[in-house]
Structure 1
Amino acid sequence: MKTEKITGLAPRLSALFKAVTVTLSLGVASSVFAAEPEVTLKLHHMSPPMSNAHSRFLEPWAQKVMKESDGRIKIDIYPSMQLGGNPSQLFDQARQGVVDIVWTVGGYTPGRFPKAGVFELPFMATSGRSSSMALQEFAEQEMQDELSEVHLLALHTHHAGAILMRDKPVTRLEDLKGVKVRAPNKQMAEALKLAGASPIFLPLPTLPSSLSKGVVDSALLAYEAVTPLKIHELTRYSTEILTKPGLYTQFFVFVMNKDSYNKLPDDLKKVIDNNSGIETAGWIGQVWDDADVRNRQTMVDSGTIFNTLPEAEVARWRQTMQPVTDQWIADMDKEGKDGTRLYQKAQTLIEKYEAKAN
C-alpha cells in the first residue's frame, strides 16, 4: 500500500519539478531584458501613434533591434514631434545629434536630396516594396554625398498614389483644370500645373482640415494614409492608374546620427546593420503596400467611387507631364551629375526589383 502511494506521487513530483524549471527559466530570460540597456536611443518622427508608420513599422523595428541585441539596445520612440520642432527640421535633428534616429518625408527638406527626386518624377513608381528596394540600392551607390552627414538606415517609398476628389470625379486630364490639389512634392506640383490644376503643397497632417475647409478640392495621396486621417470621409471619388509605373510616389528618410552609430560596439553596430539596407527598405515598402490594400477596402466599404484611367488616357497624362522629367534631367546636368544616367539607372533598378517580385 505504501509502495502504491510513493509510486503515485512520482509523476506529480516530476510535473512539479518541470513547472519549477520552466518558471526559473522564464525568470532568467525575463531578467535579461529587465536589466538596464547599454544604449538608449531616441527616435523622433512626425506621425501620430495610431499611424501605419508608428504602429506597423517603427515600433516593430525598435522591438526587433532590442530583441536581437538581447536587450542591450533600447529605442524610445517619440511620435507627433514630441521632442519639439517641425517635420522639416527632423533630418537636421539627426544630423546635429539632437536625437539619435529620425524618420521623415524627404520632400519636407526641399533641395536636400536632389538625386532621390528621380523617384518622385511622374510615372516612375510601382509597388512600395519594389520602388523602396530600388531607391535604397540607388542611394547606396549614388547618394553618398547627399547622405554623408548621417548614417543611412533605409530610404523607402509608398505604393504609387491616386487622385482623391471631394465633389467630382477625374476621368480625363481636362477634369483637373482649375482644381486645387494637394501636391506631395515639388515634381508633382510642377506636373499638376502642366495638367491645368492649381497645386498646393501641404504637410499631410494638415490635409483633413484643408479638405473640410475647401483649401483644397483634391489630393494626390497613397491609400496608406487614408484611414488614419479619415480622408475617405472627406472625399467621394478616387482616380487610379493601374498600369505600371503608376502616377507618382514620394520617398521617406530613415537615418541615424553618425556619432550615435559610431559609438556603438561592433556587435551592436552589426545589429543595426542587420536591420538596415535593401531588405529592410523592402520590408518597409511592403508595410506600406499592405496598408494600401487594407485602406482601399475601407474606402470601398464607405462608398468611394473608383475610376480607372484607360491606357490611352494614361498616355496623354504621361506626354503632358514629360517636361517635368526633362527639366529634372537638365537640372542634374547643370550640376554636373549626368541626369540621363541617373534617370535611366533609377528606371533599371525599379524594373529589376519588379521582376524579382513577379
Structure 2
Amino acid sequence: MKYLLAGAMSAALMIGAAYAEDKVIEMSFSHDLPTQHPLHSQGFQVWADSIREASHGTLDISFFPAGQLGKAEDEYDIAKYGIADFVWANPGHTPGRFPIMALGELPFFISSGLGGTQAMNEWYAEYKDQEMGDVKFCVVHLHDPGTLHSTSEIRTPADMKGKTIRPANGTIGRLVQSMGGSSVQVGPSEAREVLERGAADGITFPWRSISIFGMDDVVHYHLDMPLYVTNFIIAMNKDRYESLSESQQQVIDDHCSPEWGAKIAAGWVEFDNEGKRLFQESPEHHVLELTDEELTQWKDASSFLLEDWKANVTAKGLDADAIYNAFVERLEAHDAKF
C-alpha cells in the first residue's frame, strides 16, 4: 500500500513539476453576448475556470463580451487573425463559407440541443480540419429548437410574403426569401432596435433568449413549432495554441470534447426550456399553435433546403450523401433526430 501511495505522490509531483515549468499565459475570449446570458455565466465561465484549474493556474482566460472586439459575423476571423485567442462564433453568419457544418441549420432536422451537440461534435470531428483548418477548432454546441417571433401574427409560409425577418443563419435566410420575404442580418444585440423601428417584422431565435436582449417588448407573436437550431463554435487562434507547452495543449484538448460541448450548452438549454411556458402565461404574448396542415406547409416549404445543401457540398468535390447519412446516424444515436 505504501508503495502505491508513494507512486501516486510521485506522479502528482511530476505533473505539478511539469506545470511549474510552464509560464502563465493570459488569454482573451471574444463573444457578442451580454454577460447576463446563461452561456456566459454557466457555460464559458465554467469552461474557463476548469481550464485554469486543470493547468494549475498557467492558463488564464479573460472575457470580452458584447461584441467589444468586433461584430458577430467577424468572430471567426477574430480568432483566425489573433485579435482574440478564443471566440464564440456562429458560422451561419457567413453563408457559404462552411458548407459542411451548415447541414445542422436545416429546418425540422434536429430535435434536441444537448443530444444534437453530442452528435455534431462526434460527426464534425472528421471534417473540422478541412473546413476550419485555419483555426484550432474546439467545440460546437447547439440550443434547443428555436422558432419565429414576430410583431404581428404569422401562421403560414404565405404570411411571410413581404415580411422582413432577421434570420438565425444563412439557411433560414434562404428559407425566408423563398417564401417571398427578405432578410436583414444583424447581431442579437442590434436586433431589438431593428425590430422596434420597423426595419424587421420578426426574428428567428430561441424561446426565452429574446428576453435577454429586450426583444420580448417588441415581438408578441410566437410560432409553436421547432423550426431550427443554430451551430455555435468555440475556436482558438492556431498560433496561440501551438505556442503553448505540451501540457497546456493537453489541457485545451481535454476541454475541446463532445462532453464539454454539452456542458457549455446545458445552462442555456435549461434556461430556454422555460420560455414557451412564460409566454403562454403572459397576457401580452400569443403562442400560436399550428394545425397539422399548417405545420406540414412549413415543412414542405423548407424541404428544398436539403437538396440545396447537397448541391453546395457536392460542388466542393465531397460526397454529400455520405456526409448526410453519417450525421443522421449520430443524431439517431443521441435521440436528437427530428
Residues 70 and 143 of structure 1, relative CA distance in 2, 3 Å threshold: closer
- Aligned residue in 2 for 1:52: 38
Summarize the Cα distance change of 1:233–1:317 in structure 2 as closer, same or farther, 3 Å threshold: same
For the residue of structure 1 that corresponds to 2:129, the secondary structure is: coil
Which consecutive unaligned segments of at least 5 residues does structure 2 have? 1-21
Q: Residue type matched to 1:227 in 2?
A: S
Number of the residue aligned with 1:144: 129
Equivalence for 1:68: 54
Q: Name the structure 1 match of 2:138.
A: 153
Asked if 1:42 is matched to 2:28, the reply is yes
1:97 corresponds to which letter in structure 2? G
Q: Which residues of 2 match residues 259-270 of structure 1 at below 5 A?
A: 259-270=239-250
**Of the candidates 323, 327, 330, which is equivalent to residue 308 of structure 2?**
327
Would the alpha carbon gap of residues 145 and 289 (structure 1) be closer, same or farther in structure 2, given more than 3 Å must change?
A: same
| Aligned residues between the structures | 315
Does the aligned pair in 2 maintain the 1:227–1:298 contact within 8 Å?
A: no
Compare the two structures and name the one with the higher helix fraction. 1
> How far does residue 104 in structure 1 lie from its aligned partner after superposition?
1.4
Matched, 1:93 2:74: no
Deviates more, 1:281-290 or 1:155-164: 281-290
Is the 8 Å Cα contact of residues 138 and 256 (structure 2) preserved in structure 1? yes
CA contact (8 A) 1:40 1:74 kept: yes
Aligned-residue offset at 1:224: 4.4
Aligned to 2:19: none
Range with greater deviation from structure 2 (296-305 or 86-95): 296-305
Instruction: Output one character per residue of 1:299-318: Cα deviation in whole Å (capped at 9) or x when no partner.
Output: 34443221232333322222
- TM-score of the aligned structures, taking structure 2 as reference length: 0.86
| Aligned mates of 1:212, 1:46 — CA distance in 2 | 20
Superposition pairs of residues 1-358 of structure 1, within 5 angstroms? 38-82=24-68, 84-168=69-153, 170-241=154-225, 246-303=226-283, 304-354=285-335
Query: Whole-Å Cα distance in 1 between the matches of residues 156 and 72 of structure 2?
Result: 34
Q: Which runs of 4+ in 1 moved over 4 A?
A: none
Contact kept in structure 2, 1:65 and 1:271, CA below 8 Å: yes
Amino acid of the structure 1 residue aligned with 2:143:
H
Indicate how the Cα distance of structure 1 residues 191 and 110 shifts in structure 2: closer, same or farther if over 3 A, else same: closer
Counterparts in 2 of 1:37 and 1:58: CA distance versus 1, 3 Å: farther
Counterpart residue number, 2:13: none
- CA 231–322 in structure 1, closer or farther in 2 if over 3 Å, else same: same
Residues 81 and 87 in structure 1, CA contact (< 8 A), matched pair in contact too:
yes
Is the 1:124–1:347 Cα contact (8 Å) retained in structure 2?
A: no
Q: Deviations over 1:58-79 (max 9, x none)?
A: 1121112112222222111111
- Counterparts of 1:161 and 1:199, CA distance in 2: 17
User: Tell me, which stretches of 5 or more residues in structure 1 are unaligned?
Assistant: 1-35
* Deviation per residue, 1:26-63 (Å, 9 max, x gap): xxxxxxxxxx9722111111222222332221112111
| Percent of aligned pairs sharing the same letter | 24
What is the distance in 2 between the residues matched to 1:58 and 1:226? Answer: 20
Asked whether the 8 Å contact 1:182–1:200 carries over to 2, the reply is: yes
CA distance in structure 2 between the aligned counterparts of 1:276 and 1:133, rounded to whole angstroms = 12
Shift of 1:120: 0.6
- Is the partner of 2:198 in helix, strand or coil? coil
Aligned letter for 1:61? W
What is the RMSD computed on CA atoms of the aligned residues? 2.1
Paired letter, 1:199: S
| Aligned-pair CA distance for 1:297 | 4.1
- Which of 1 and 2 has greater Rg? 1
**Partners in 2 of 1:38 and 1:320 — Cα distance?**
54
SS in 2 for 1:345: helix
Report if aligned partners of 2:89, 2:232 keep a CA contact under 8 Å in 1: yes
Deviation at 1:215, TM superposition (A): 0.8
Counterpart amino acid of 1:186?
Answer: G
